[in-house]
A = this chain, B = another copy of it.
C-alpha cells in the first residue's frame, strides 16, 4: 500500500472564467474504455468531432479539429505554423491575452507591432483598420473575448478590412466559443482558436481550432513529412515549421483520411470533447447563447443591487465573464478565500494592472445555471457583510429572482401569443 489516499475532491461551485464545472455527461463519457488510435471505431469518433466542431464554429472550413494541449497550445499551433521569421504581425492589445499573442509571435521571430487601449476598453475598429493600412502586416492576431477585463472586441469591420487587404486574421476565441455568438465565416475570420475548459464545459487539455484555405495555403507551403516516415528526400521543406508537435501541416494529415502517424490522440479527452459538443448541439447554439445572457443579466442585476459596481465598458461587456470593482477598504483575496472555504464557491481575481482591483465571476457553460448564480450572489453578500462592508442587505437575490421570473413570464406570454 502507499500513503496516497483515494481521490476524494470537494464538490465546488466554480464561477471563474475557467476552468468551469464539467457537465456530468461529459465526465461519464471520459470513464469509457479506450480504443486504439487507428481503430475504425475511434477514427469515426474523430470524424464526428470534426463535424460537430464545424457547427459550433459556424464554419464550412474543412479543417476544424482539436490540438492536444491546453488552449494556448492551439494558439501556438496556429501562429507558429504561419509565422516565418521577419513576418509582420499586428496585435491590438486590450488585456492580458493580447500580451500572450504578442509573446508567442515574437518567440517565433515575427516583427510585432502592438497597439493598446486601457484595460476595460475595446478598440474602435476604425483605429485597428487604420493601423492595418499603416503597418501592412501579414497577420493580425487579436483576442475576441478578454477574460482578464471582461471585454469583447467587435470583429465585423476588422474581418472585412483584413480580407480586403489580404491580411490573415487570427482570433483567440478561447473564452467565447460555445457561449457567445461568433460566426467564423460570416465575420471573415481566417483562423480561430477555442478552449474546452470554458464555455464548452469540457476539462482543460484540448484546444479546438479551425482555419480556412487562406491559412491552409500558407501551411501547405511549409509542409514536410516526418523523418522516419519519409519515402523521398523531397518531402522536406526549407521553410519548415519550427515545432514538430504544433506542425499543422502534419496534424492535418493525421486528421484526414491519410491518417499519417503523428502523436497518439488523447482518447479520453476526445470522448469528452465529442460529448461536450453533442450537448451544445442538442441545446442549440441560439438557446445556449440566450441562456448565457439570461444568467449574466441576473448576476449583473444582483451585483448592482448589492451596491457594487461593474468594471469596464458595459457596452462591450463579455456576457460570460463579469468584472466587479473591489470596494475601497476591502481585501479582495480575503473575500475570495472566505467564499471558497465557507461556501465552496470559487471566483477569480485578475492580472497586471487589475490585480487587487477587480473580482471576476465566470458564467460559462455548465456553470452558467440559475442555482449557481443565486449561490454566488448569496455567498458574496454574506461574506461582504461578515467582513464589515455595508451592502444593501437582502436585495441582491430578490433582484436576481425577478430577472428569472420576468424571463419566465415573457416566455409564457410568447407561447400563448402563438
Which positions in A face B, CB cutoff 8 Å?
Answer: 1-2, 4, 7, 9-12, 14, 16, 18-19, 21-22, 27-37, 39, 41-42, 45, 48, 52, 68-73, 76, 80, 96-100, 102-104, 107-108, 197, 203-205, 226-229, 240-246, 261-269, 271-272, 274-275, 278, 281-282, 340, 346, 351-352
Contact = CB atoms under 8 A, between A and B. Distances in A.
A34 B22 contact: yes
Most B CB contacts (10 A, CB to CB) among A32, A97, A244, A340 go to: A244
B265 A228 contact: no
Contacts of A262: 72
A2 B71 CA distance: 26
Contact of A268 (B68, B227, B272): B272
B70 A264 contact: yes
A7 B274 contact: yes
A76 B278 contact: no
A249 B163 CA distance: 38
Nearest to A40: B340
Copies in the complex: 2
Given A76-B245, A99-B227, A244-B100, A205 B34 contact: no
A1 B282 CA distance: 5
A27 B27 contact: no
B39 A33 contact: no
A263 B71 contact: yes
Contacts of A28: 31
Contact of A33 (B27, B29, B31): B27
A99 B224 CA distance: 14
Contact of A27 (B31, B104, B274): B31
16 contacts: A4-B274, A19-B34, A19-B267, A36-B346, A39-B346, A68-B205, A72-B244, A72-B262, A76-B244, A96-B229, A98-B228, A100-B228, A103-B228, A197-B267, A204-B263, A204-B265
